[in-house]
């Protein structure tokens, strides 16, 4: 049975929910043995959560000297060593900020192709599907190299439970030199915000939001929805929101179950960043806004009237 | 201060991509530009040399002969000259591209810094910075939105999610993959555009640099348009509340909420 290694992302002592779709992609049609690598948490504590999604071995990944979490370089080198130690046929991670950085380094170290940000994979056909031209086209690309290295777009693959028995192990990678790059500091966000690319629901405000403070209205709705709050490029360029909130061509690419666009006209560049959302809802007071041509559900109305009512109705329906 | 900027010739992000055959696209009449993320790297490079008061910025591109036109706009933004490594492969694999970039740079001079963009907007591979760094055995930081270089040390910031930022430290020379936020690329003025027409662009073939063409074709098996939705079902209702209630019910019925 081919072996697929997966780098797990953790947060506040637990396995992040977005890993489960990655594990489902890693397992394929139950055709691969999945080995999970964990660097931040205790492998034993994560074991049961990971075994529920088909992981048969959870490996605590360490480096001989130094802290593996102090440098993306060290982590990539340790993974490269793990590929050899565990004879992996595939090695996969999430296309998140840390995942993109570690797997970019890993592809270069192993000197094999890296297929980034895939949305689905077919081990039989040895192909994966990913975006080309900023979401305008989908490309079916060949999986080449030994091992096959890829990252999976968060939320793109629906997680499927597949409980198995798992064991734990430890692997101390021998990485001779010190890291070339070190993390000197992590500056926390001013507000404790959910990361857009990982959120299952997103509510976005366009330029008509008019002022940074008005995003509070969306924050309130987001809280009820368990959503992250996004912004359009026009709103970011007008100084109403930071670039970290921007969805679209020069911002973030997202794939949530539900995307609610408020006061967004629907430019091609915005759609490039969110068209793979499962359901798109538009709220706009211009009935001729292009976004209504390209979404699933629409409400014609001023977002300053519609959003507070939406928050209220959602709250009421939750209390029922 | 000898600074190299790896810039890719890519279709304009506003352009429609017309698919040709199973796995190709039509470039007839298609507008090409400098990859937008590479422009942030270029702007940073130009500022660095301006600040140092000496040195030059050299643009390096791997692409078709027409890429020379795209390189002119990078030259208008302040680069001194360009190097074009010619390849007609629209989907040239990033390993070959990185080797070609390394060979072209090495043939030209000794880099104090190398800049590029975090990803290209055509194939979205997001790995060239890492591969170029590996070829040179330099440190690399990607998706960088703030940078300071002093006394042989680079301090770079990247967003790691939810607005949190990571501060990375490395020695120079290093490779920086730029993203939006690093700077505001300048808009070339007419005299800059005229001057750029006279700047030198050296051309090489892959073979001139001792680079073998890739063993396998990097083109996708299939290229297809992402289907557009057919149009919204508009929530009807006499009042805002009725429309919202209908929406919430619809989303709940279809298990989206």
- Residue A286's CB is within 10 A of a number of other CB atoms, namely 12
Q: Is the dihedral of CA A16, B165, A259, A211 positive or negative?
A: positive
CB contacts < 8 A, A to B, total 235
Q: How far is B81 from chain A (nearest CA, A)?
A: 27
CATH of A3-173, picked from 3.50.50.60, 3.40.50.720, 3.40.30.120, 3.40.50.620, is 3.40.50.620
Q: Which residue of B has its CA nearest to A127?
A: B221
* Residue-wise DSSP of A66-105: S-GGG-HHHHHHHHHHHHHHTT-SEEEEESSHHHHHHHHH
Q: Which residue of B has its CA nearest to A292?
A: B232
pLDDT in tens, B195-243: 999 999 999 999 999 998 776 677 899 999 988 898 999 998 789 999 9
Helix/strand/coil (H, E, C) string of chain B? CEEEEECCEEECCCCCCCEECCCEECCCCCCEEECHHHHHHHHHHHHHHHHHCCCEEEEEEEECCCHHHHHHHHHHCCCCEEEEEECCCCCCCHHHHHHHHHHHHHHHCCCCEEEEECCCCCCCCCCHHHHHHHHHCCCEEEEEEEEEEECCEEEEEEEEECCEEEEEEEECCCEEEECCCCCCCCCCCHHHHHHHHHCCEEEEEHHHHCCCCCCCCCCCCEEEECCCCCCCEECCCCCHHHHHHHHHHHHHHCCCC
Distance between CA A142 and CA A163 in Å, rounded?
Answer: 30
CB A174 within 8 A of CB A40: no
Is residue B96 in some structural domain?
A: yes
Q: How far is B59 from chain A (nearest CA, A)?
A: 22
Within an 8 Å CB–CB cutoff, is residue B30 touching chain A? no
> Could you give the number of structural domains in chain B?
2
Do B251 and B200 belong to one domain?
Answer: no
Is residue B19 in some structural domain?
A: yes
Q: Output B163 or A9, whichever has higher pLDDT.
A: A9
Candidates A112, A180, A78; CA nearest to B98 is: A112
- A-proximal residues of B, 197-236, CB under 8 Å: 216, 220-226, 228-229, 231-235
Is residue B130 in some structural domain?
A: yes
The ipTM is: 0.95
pLDDT in tens, A195-238: 899 999 999 999 999 999 999 999 999 999 999 999 999 999 99
Q: What's the CA angle centered on A196, arms A192 and A202, to 5 degrees?
A: 105
Residues of chain A contacting B140 with CB distance shorter than 8 Å: 105, 180-181
pLDDT at A65: 80
The CATH number that domain A196-319 falls under is 3.40.50.1220
Candidates B112, B107, B138; CA nearest to B55 is: B112
> Which residue of A108, A192, A229 is the best one to mutate when testing the B interface, meaning the one whose CB has the most B CBs within 10 A?
A108
Per the structure, the complete domain to which residue B132 belongs is given by 2-209
Q: How far is B179 from chain A (nearest CA, A)?
A: 8
Residue A312 has pLDDT above 80, yes or no: yes
Is residue B223 in some structural domain?
A: no
Say whether A250 sits in a helix, a strand or coil. coil
Is residue B220 in some structural domain?
A: no
Q: Output B182 or A64, whichever has higher pLDDT.
A: B182
């Amino acid at each position: 049975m081919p072996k697929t290694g997966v780098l797990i992302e953790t947060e506040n002592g637990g396995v992040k929910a977005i890993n489960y779709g990655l594990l489902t992609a890693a397992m394929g049609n139950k055709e691969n043995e999945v080995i999970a690598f964990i660097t931040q948490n205790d492998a034993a504590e994560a074991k049961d959560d990971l075994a529920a999604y088909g992981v048969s071995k959870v490996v605590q990944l360490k480096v001989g000297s130094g802290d593996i979490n102090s440098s993306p370089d060290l982590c990539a080198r340790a993974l490269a060593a793990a590929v050899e130690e565990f004879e992996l046929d595939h090695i996969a991670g999430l296309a998140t900020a840390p995942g993109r950085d570690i797997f970019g380094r890993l592809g270069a170290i192993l000197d094999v192709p890296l297929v980034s940000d895939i949305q689905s994979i077919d081990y039989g056909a040895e192909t994966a599907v990913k975006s080309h031209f900023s979401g305008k086209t989908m490309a079916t690309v060949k999986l080449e190299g030994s091992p096959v290295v890829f990252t999976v777009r968060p939320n793109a693959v629906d997680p499927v439970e597949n409980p198995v028995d798992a064991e734990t192990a430890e692997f101390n990678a021998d990485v001779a030199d010190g890291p070339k790059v070190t993390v000197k500091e992590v500056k926390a966000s001013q507000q404790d915000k959910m990361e857009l690319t990982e959120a299952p629901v997103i509510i976005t405000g366009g330029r008509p939001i008019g002022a940074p403070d008005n995003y509070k209205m969306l924050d309130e709705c987001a809280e009820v929805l368990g959503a992250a709050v996004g912004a359009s490029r026009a709103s970011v360029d007008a100084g109403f929101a930071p670039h970290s909130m921007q969805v679209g061509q020069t911002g973030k690419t997202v794939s949530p179950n539900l995307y609610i666009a408020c006061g967004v006209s629907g430019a091609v560049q915005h759609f490039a960043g969110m068209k793979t959302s499962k359901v798109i809802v538009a709220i706009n007071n211009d009935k001729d806004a292009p976004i209504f041509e390209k979404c699933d559900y629409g409400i014609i109305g001023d977002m300053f009237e519609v959003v507070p009512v939406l928050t209220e109705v959602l709250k009421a329906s939750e209390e029922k | 201060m000898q600074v190299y900027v790896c810039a890719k010739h890519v279709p304009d992000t506003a352009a429609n991509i017309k698919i040709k055959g199973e796995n190709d696209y039509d470039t007839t009449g298609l507008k090409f530009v400098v990859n937008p993320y590479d422009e942030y790297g270029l702007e940073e490079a130009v500022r660095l040399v301006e600040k140092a008061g000496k040195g030059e910025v050299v643009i390096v591109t791997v692409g078709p002969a027409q890429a020379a036109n795209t390189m002119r706009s990078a030259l208008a933004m302040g680069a001194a000259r360009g190097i074009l490594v010619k390849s007609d492969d629209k989907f040239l694999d990033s390993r070959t591209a990185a080797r070609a970039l390394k060979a072209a740079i090495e043939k030209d001079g000794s880099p104090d810094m190398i800049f590029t963009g975090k990803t290209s907007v055509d194939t979205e591979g997001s790995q060239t910075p890492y591969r170029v760094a590996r070829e040179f055995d330099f440190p690399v930081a990607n998706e960088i939105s703030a940078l300071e270089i002093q006394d042989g040390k680079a301090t770079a910031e990247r967003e790691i999610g939810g607005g949190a930022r990571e501060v990375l430290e490395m020695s120079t020379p290093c490779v920086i993959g730029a993203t939006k936020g690093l700077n505001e690329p300048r808009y070339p003025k007419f005299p800059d555009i005229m001057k750029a027409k006279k700047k030198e662009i050296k051309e090489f073939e892959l073979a001139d640099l001792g680079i073998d063409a890739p063993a396998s074709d990097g083109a996708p098996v299939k290229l297809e348009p992402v289907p557009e939705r057919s149009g919204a079902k508009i929530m009807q209702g006499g009042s805002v509340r009725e429309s919202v209630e209908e929406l919430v019910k619809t989303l709940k019925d279809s298990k989206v909420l």
